[in-house]
């Protein structure tokens, strides 16, 4: 079903049951742009409501109850929140671009995955939307996610950098 959704709604999304070659035409089953345009609008609305670029959409706070009213802790967590948003705003972090792709994935498939890891080469954090067809989730005996498997391909050059 996800492959059909991809073919009709988001032709440039990742493949599920077929593999297209680079440069191959992907919009072969799409008869008009209504679905794709609606998906872009859906993602834009979610982005503007949930992860707006020009404002803080969440704040960090201590998990220990005894630190909730501590002035020094409040200053620390405010500075930490500022640093987090500064790191996300860096072009190399690609947070907002990848979140837009994530919102499109939510609209098309009802699910999305974001890979967050340190950017060892340039410092900071790196965000990457991961195609839902490349991720498998394992749960423990209580139904809690305890393992995530992520399948991906790398060129020889990228593998050496990794």
pLDDT (tens digit per residue) in 75-119: 999 999 999 999 999 999 999 999 999 999 999 999 999 999 998
Concatenated DSSP letters for 97-150?
HHHHHHHHHHHHHS--EEEEEE-TTTSSEEEEEE-GGGEEEEE-TTS-EEEEEE
23 pLDDT band (50/70/90 cuts)?
A: low
**151, pLDDT greater than 80:** yes
Cβ(132)–Cβ(111) under 8 Å?
yes
CA-nearest of 130, 135, 134 to 148 is 135
50 pLDDT band (50/70/90 cuts)?
A: very high
């Amino acid at each position: 079903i996800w492959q059909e959704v991809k073919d009709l709604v988001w032709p440039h999304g990742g493949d599920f049951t077929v593999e297209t070659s680079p440069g191959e035409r992907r919009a072969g089953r799409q008869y008009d742009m209504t679905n794709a345009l609606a998906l872009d609008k859906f993602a834009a609305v979610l982005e503007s409501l949930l992860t707006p670029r020009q404002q803080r959409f969440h704040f960090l706070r201590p998990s220990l109850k005894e630190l909730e009213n501590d002035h020094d802790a409040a200053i620390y967590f405010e500075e930490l929140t500022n640093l987090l948003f500064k790191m996300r705003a860096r072009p190399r972090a690609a947070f907002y671009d990848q979140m837009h792709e994530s919102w499109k994935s939510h609209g098309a498939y009802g699910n999305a995955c974001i890979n967050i890891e340190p950017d060892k080469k340039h410092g900071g954090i790196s965000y990457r939307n991961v195609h839902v067809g490349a991720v498998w989730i394992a749960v423990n005996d209580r139904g809690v996610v305890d393992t995530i498997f992520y399948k991906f391909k790398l060129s020889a050059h990228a593998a050496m950098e990794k």
